[in-house]
Amino acid sequence: MFKKLLFVLIVLTLLSGNILLAQGREGFGLGIMLGEPTGLSLKFTSNLAAGVAWSFVDDSNLHFHLDYLKYTNLFSSSSGLREKMPFYYGVGGRFKIREDKDSIVGVRVPLGISYLPDSLPIDIFLEIVPILDVVPDVDFGINSALVARYYF
């Protein structure tokens, strides 16, 4: 199941090519994610982001996720916030390793808003992520995080 989900995400990324305009910063982004889960946030392309984190709610489980994101502007171009605060949504997968229990595979639907300061190679964003776990049992949950990433 996880391999199929990863394959679909990779195909979507390759097919997107230059159809979607780059949002946020260029280059590789690395940052800190605070919330549930808490850990590292990575951004590989303008539309592909990942996380390696720990869930403190569920017995310190190790959490991996990979998301395909699409950005849109909430503000008019005259407000000056159009390029500085894009809204994003997407789809992704998560894999959670649990000690002494079965691992969890789920589908993520990230929703968030970013802030892109003009003078710094960073982005700061807040996201809420509904999750539908499908392995080993079907279950619904929500993650949320405040994240800051630096672009190299």
Q: How far is residue 129 from each of residues 2, 59, 109, 151, measured CA to CA in Å?
A: 18, 20, 5, 23
Question: How much of the chain, in percent, has pLDDT values that exceed 70?
Answer: 76
- CB neighbourhood size of 14 (10 A): 8
Per-residue pLDDT at 100: 79
Give the confidence band of 35 by pLDDT, cuts at 50, 70, 90.
very high
Contacts of 99 (CB under 8 A, 6+ apart): 59, 60, 61
Strands, E assignment, 98-135? 104-108, 111-115, 122-135
**Residue range 92-117, pLDDT digits in tens:** 999 999 887 889 999 999 999 999 88
Give the confidence band of 137 by pLDDT, cuts at 50, 70, 90.
very high
Q: Whose CA is closest to 67, among 23, 126, 107, 122?
A: 107
Residues 43 and 5: their CA atoms lie apart, in Å, by: 19
Q: 62: number of CA atoms within 13 Å, CB side?
A: 6
Q: Where are the domains of the chain?
A: 2-151
Mean pLDDT of 122-136: 96
Question: How much of the chain, in percent, has pLDDT values that exceed 90?
Answer: 60
Per-residue pLDDT at 9: 44
Residues 43 and 62: their CA atoms lie apart, in Å, by: 19
Candidates 3.40.50.300, 3.40.50.200, 2.40.50.1070, 2.40.160.20; CATH matching 2-151: 2.40.160.20
DSSP string, 38-81: EEEEEE-SSSEEEEEEEETTTTTEEEEEEEEEEEEE-S-GGGS-
Residues 74 and 41: their CA atoms lie apart, in Å, by: 24
Q: Copy the structure tokens of residue 47.
A: 């539309």
User: What distance lies between CA 23 and its chain's CA centroid?
Assistant: 14
Mean pLDDT of 80-94: 84
